Amino acid sequence: MARSALLNVMTQAAMKAGRALTRDFGEVQNLQVSMKGPADFVSNADRRAEEIVFQELSRVRPDWGFLMEERGEIEGRDPQHRWIVDPLDGTTNFLHGIPMFSVSIALERDGQLVAGVIFNPAMDELYTAEKGGGAFLNDRRIRVAARKTLPEGLFGTGIPFLGRGDHAGFLYELRQIMSETAGIRRMGAASLDLAYVAAGRLDGFWEQALQPWDVAAGIVLLREAGGFVTGLSGEKFDHMRGDVACGNEFMHKALVDQLKTAAQKRKRATSTSAETGSA
């Protein structure tokens, strides 16, 4: 399969950064056992990977802007095009020596996501998609799974953690979805969760409060693989807002219904406790 020039540029940048991350990942595993621990080393690995992506993409498309996890917004002379880049998605996994992390690069044209590349160097898996051109894993076409009912469905999610997210709300979602489905996975890299739904490994995925660079590339993959995506209560998806519920047509609808039920149960419980004055 011949990749487009655009996907070639994105792939080269992702693979070059991925190779640097692989070298650093080896070192992280050594540092795990040292007194100092690998935290500072990992922030540097993250910045190095971002620098590689920035240099590679600026070299071939000097006028295009960027939205990057570390550097933030960099305006380009061309107002139409912007790269959205997460140089290391799954930072916590990387820090802990777990090989579930990626380089994620998307292209936005006039505010629309039009191309996405995600590279997991530890598993040597490269996901590519361009609007209208289909989604691929290592150059083989991928599609969302064909399973249609919740009891067959395996779902990915992100669990809020110390200092982040709506912990109480998530427990309602978890209670609801775990009792209706074949299982839930928490992999720790939103880009790869989306890629796994696109590849038909997971049947769906939901998570709140993600950043544009966590999801932008994965959304292109998902749509090109035939998936559906909205916010958590079925509202139009907006990659700048960061709430994601996705799956194939059937699983997406079923997931959103479950999330709505969870939100209603929470609301009822909150108003009951407010009425009775309990916490």
Q: Which residues bind ligand 2AM (CB under 6 A)?
A: 86, 89-92, 158, 164, 188-190, 207, 209-211, 214
214 contacts Ca ion (rule: CB under 5 A):
yes
- Closest approach of ligand 2AM to the CB of residue 88, in Å: 6
- Closest approach of ligand 2AM to the CB of residue 11, in Å: 20
Residue whose CB is less far from ligand 2AM, 145 or 189: 189
Residue whose CB is less far from ligand 2AM, 210 or 259: 210
| Residue of the chain from 50, 86, 193, 224 that contacts Ca ion (CB under 5 A) | 86
Residue whose CB is less far from ligand 2AM, 86 or 243: 86
Residue number closest to Ca ion, CB atom: 89
Cα of first residue to Cα of last residue in the chain, in angstroms, is: 59
- Closest approach of ligand 2AM to the CB of residue 79, in Å: 27
| Residue of the chain from 24, 46, 50, 89 that contacts Ca ion (CB under 5 A) | 89
Q: Do residues 176 and 206 lie in contact, with contact meaning Cβ atoms separated by under 8 Å?
A: no
Contacting positions for Ca ion (CB under 5 A): 86, 89, 214
